[in-house]
Amino acid sequence: MNQAEAVPSSAVVRPKLKRSIIDCDIHHYTGMDVIRPYLAREYRELVETYGNALPGGMHFNGGVGGRMVDSFPPEGGPAGSSLSYMQRHHLDPNHVEYGILTGEGSGMHNTINHDYAAALCSAVNDYTIEHWLSQDSRLKGSVMIPKQDPLLSAKEIDRVGGRSDFAQVLVSNGAIFPYGNRYYYPIYEACVRHNLPFTIHVGNEGSGVNGPPTGAGHVTHYIESRASRPQVMMAHLASFIFEGVFERFPTLKVVLQEAGVFWIAPYLWRLDQDWKALRVQTPWVRKLPSEYFRDHMRVTTQPIEMTPNRAVFDQMMASIFAKDTMMYCSDYPHWDFDSPLKALPKLDDELWDRVYYRNAANIYGLPARKSERAGEPS
């Protein structure tokens, strides 16, 4: 027991929230205009001569250009481009003790040109270090990798992943193969080497090098594209388990981001059932799929499905082992931002603390909450 536990929780000043929180998904702006100075010279010149040469988004979106109306900095510029406005608008009032920056797609996960993808990732990572991580110690970065090319990805993880201000490795949900495929092993070797979780964030489904976003081909409308996100995440989840990735990399953690959460419950029921009947075909899968999920996977909240009533909510939370696996995130400044005050129904103290702080602190290895450190003022 440390002295922190002696600090009565009522002594902590909390602007609307019980305690400070960790936000696992904050999109700082990483468009070409800001990362260009960090791009390797040969690509900078190509971009200046030919344009970005990146697959574009194929769907309309929500909000204004996909962003919350009030998230644009008053001094001008894109949503998520101003640290000082993000501090005033989100980090300070929402008592964010740590925020994991996830950037914007920028095409590095779906361009056909792997070397260009790698250069873009390096540029985003360097820009993020200089303009964000070194400016506010609350912010932690995501190592962007060109997942199309696992060897170049491992190289980038080794280049910056040892820094204490990077919290995870991040890739898009849209992929060429499901992420359990052994093609990706160099990435997981590097993640394990640097003790970084591997985070799959929705995006790029059906775009660029990635195949159609559903097992029935392309979809027509944005709402269908959003509906395809859990489908693709399902493919990755099953792939990690049945390819035996967690047996090969026992310390690897995987975060599923922004594809919803409650689809995981019936999906695990089905995988557990099928594993009981078919485990002879995948003998390296040694325990129930739901146990691998609980031990190795985490899921962030936004956009959590609204259940018909509280009883269903509680049972779904239990069914996905939320106490161990769920981590709050806001998706700031995207249009479907979830305020920490409204993201979830009222949780008991223990569960609240795990979802809004402790589960993330544990897998990202973040130092304990300031307000709980011995003798420190909150």
Looking at 101, 316, 326, 327, which residue binds a copy of itself (CB under 8 A)?
A: 316
Is 284 a residue that touches a copy of itself (CB under 8 A)?
Answer: no
Positions in 240-259 near a copy of itself (CB under 8 A)? 242-243
Q: Which is nearer to a copy of itself, 86 or 259 (CB)?
A: 259
Q: Which is nearer to a copy of itself, 217 or 375 (CB)?
A: 217
Looking at 72, 249, 275, 352, which residue binds a copy of itself (CB under 8 A)?
A: 275
Question: What is the nearest approach in angstroms of a copy of itself to the Cβ of residue 220?
Answer: 6
Question: What is the nearest approach in angstroms of a copy of itself to the Cβ of residue 324?
Answer: 15
Looking at 217, 346, 348, 375, which residue binds a copy of itself (CB under 8 A)?
A: 217
| Alpha-carbon gap, residue 79 to 332, rounded angstroms | 9
Q: Which is nearer to a copy of itself, 12 or 175 (CB)?
A: 175
Looking at 281, 342, 348, 375, which residue binds a copy of itself (CB under 8 A)?
A: 281
Question: What is the nearest approach in angstroms of a copy of itself to the Cβ of residue 98?
Answer: 28
Positions in 177-196 near a copy of itself (CB under 8 A)? 177-181
Question: What is the nearest approach in angstroms of a copy of itself to the Cβ of residue 29?
Answer: 23
Looking at 5, 305, 349, 376, which residue binds a copy of itself (CB under 8 A)?
A: 305
Is 260 a residue that touches a copy of itself (CB under 8 A)?
Answer: yes
Binding site for a copy of itself (CB under 8 A): 60, 62, 173-181, 205-206, 210-224, 226-228, 230-232, 234-236, 238-239, 242-243, 260, 262-263, 265-267, 269-275, 277-278, 281-282, 303, 305-308, 311-312, 315-316, 318-319, 336
